[in-house]
Chains A and B, each alone.
Chain A
Amino acid sequence: MQKPILSLENIYVDFERDGVISHVLDNVSLSVHTGEFISIIGHSGCGKSTLLNVVAGLVPVTMGAALLENKEINGPGPERAVVFQNHSLLPWMTVYENVKLAVNKLYGHSESMKKVHERVMNNLDLVKMTHARDKRPGEISGGMKQRVGIARALSMEPKVLLLDEPFGALDALTRGHLQDTVMELHDRIKATVLMITHDVDEAVLLADRVVMMSNGPKATIGKIVDVTSPRPRVRRELYNDRSFMGCRQEIVSFLEEHDRVVKFEPVPV
């Protein structure tokens, strides 16, 4: 078996606030291979965003190590580009300028203006947003903003693409379209992707493996399922696919089981 591109080894994350230490992640280990699509699912507050932020370098680990290509991650960087939940486009720049900011920073000093322009346009083309290149984020819909967010992240040519509940704020139809786009992009550019979600169907539809997290505090990986349904996947056919439905069922029961644990926990006074 090939060496993993990303490996998380016994990661612990504690946060301290007003002298009170809360243990968010407790002994999380995970290996991700090149080209793999991993979905991370769990109840809200279980620390799945913290885990993604560890990989992004935005949250430091308390113990353990996160390695990208065998080098320790300390601090954020473009090789681990993030698509944030609320798009995080800069509202004073046009769609084009938002992507160009990233391209310029990474390639501006080594490539010609023309090449930079081509890169921006190629990435906008990948998410089908070239028509809105001169619009500002305030003038386009939520789904379009998220597309531009994806284009900006892709333009950094990341080794691992991190998606932090990218479709959480979108309506169901737009969500479906964007899932298709992400699936298509993943097939096309063979990106390694780590995606946080709380939508079971979305997790299974997109992923090669679904990582289920137990509830926090002291959250850890409870279970991992392999999604063996062949690619390319078509949404409407998957509901007749036995292995897809099996995965789905497994995740739903895992989540329900952990839901109960939370409910019966005594409330501290």
Chain B
Amino acid sequence: MAFDTPKLVTGEASVPETHTKEASPVPARATPRDPIALAQQKQINAAKLRKFADKVSTWLMPALTIAAFLLIWEVIANAFPGGLPAPSMVLMESQELIFNPFYDRGGVDKGLFWHVMTSLSRVGIGFGLAAIAGVLLGAFIGTVDLARKGLDPIFQVFRTVPPLAWLPISLAALREAEPSALFVIFITSIWPIVINTAVGVRNIPQDYLNVAKVLRLHPVEFFFQIMLPAATPHIFTGLRIGVGMSWLAIVASEMLLGGVGIGFFIWDQYNSSRMSDIIVALMWVGMVGFILDRLVAMLGQYVSRGTTAD
């Protein structure tokens, strides 16, 4: 939640209204000299000011840091010509790429929007499968202690394997680029989902388990009525890490696999030495990754509303 700004506790306008009515006998005729009314007016103003300052700083500070960043970049890039293009250069050289993400001239000559969509659809399939399999597997090893003892060491080793290290194996086994890319996403993002789900399932409070026992819920009922909702916060922690990792994995594996996709685009532009285009593409990658993370976080908040309240 690094982007949530803390909410200042402000007086709000309702406080003075109710207070004047109760505190002073003739509220409507309170003279400006009335010390209570004056003090209250001061408080309202201070609260309003704080609120305003808070709002402004939320938007102003990021804008300032971005501006400063661009400025420093511009200065350094101009000081060492021939290296990275300065922001002004990027703007000039990659105009079409920046302002028209939707063009499509056939083949791989497409706007960035289409490249990103292709990559996202791969993430959607690979990550979707990983989510389903991960939650089921996590629920299994969270419930069956023997399974956890047997499988946990393997998972702990597999989850440290970098995404790209899976690529040669999957290419050899699956023989085609598209399923290999999907497999790399799947195998990268499944571990945090499995491990977090298992932790969530193992931490279901004894009280809920007792309720299920007294009611004699059968396993399927227990899974949907108790286990899934109780483990939801943990599951979404896993999903959030998983979606981030699958975005890392897809960009990297597309660079090697070719075809369409934002990762391929970056590699392609590198081969034709178009640095400005790469920088624009990087911005897209960052923004899309950020949005993905926020989407999963928001979904998690919506789904798990109430689950932690006691």
Contacts and interface: CB of A to CB of B under 8 A. Distances in A.
Interface of A: 56-58, 75-78, 80-82, 84, 86, 88, 90-92, 101-102, 105-106, 136-139, 156
Given A90-B229, A91-B308, A91-B309, A76 B207 contact: no
Contact of B211 (A90, A136, A137): A90
A82 B216 CA distance: 13
Given A105-B215, A105-B221, A92 B208 contact: no
Contact of B207 (A81, A84, A105, A156): A84
Contact of A138 (B208, B213, B226, B306): B306
A105 B225 CA distance: 11
B34 to A, nearest CB: 40
Q: Taking chain A's interface residues, is the majority helix, strand, or loop, or is none over half, making it mixed?
A: loop
A138 B310 contact: yes
Interface string B177-219: 0000000000000000000000000000001101101111100
Nearest to B216: A77
A90 B208 contact: yes
A90 B205 CA distance: 10
B310 A58 contact: no
The CB with the most chain A CB atoms within 10 A, among B211, B213, B229, B309, is that of: B211
Contacts, number: 61
Interface residues of B, number: 21
B307 interface: yes
Contact of B216 (A56, A76, A88, A137): A76
A136 B307 CA distance: 10
A81 B214 contact: yes
A88 B211 contact: yes
A235 B159 CA distance: 64
B217 A84 contact: no
Contact of A78 (B214, B304, B308): B214
Contact of B214 (A82, A138, A139): A82
22 contacts: A58-B213, A75-B213, A76-B210, A76-B216, A78-B214, A78-B216, A81-B214, A82-B210, A84-B211, A90-B211, A91-B308, A91-B310, A92-B229, A92-B230, A92-B307, A102-B215, A105-B221, A137-B310, A138-B306, A138-B309, A156-B214, A156-B215
A91 B226 CA distance: 10
A244 to B, nearest CB: 33
Contacts of A102: 215
Contacts of B230: 90, 92
Interface in B51-66: none
A220 to B, nearest CB: 25
Interface in B100-147: none
B215 A86 contact: no
A190 B300 CA distance: 46
Contacts of A77: 214, 216
B216 A105 contact: yes
Contacts of A57: 213
Nearest to B221: A105
Contacts of A91: 306-310
B310 A76 contact: no
A105 B306 contact: no
Interface in B228-254: 229-230, 232
B58 to A, nearest CB: 29
B210 A78 contact: no
B306 A136 contact: yes
B210, B214, B307 — most chain A CB neighbours (10 Å): B214
Contacts of B215: 78, 101-102, 105-106, 156
Contact of A80 (B214, B226, B306): B214
Interface in B269-310: 304, 306-310
Contacts of B310: 91, 137-138
Nearest to B305: A92
A58 B215 CA distance: 12
Nearest to B210: A58
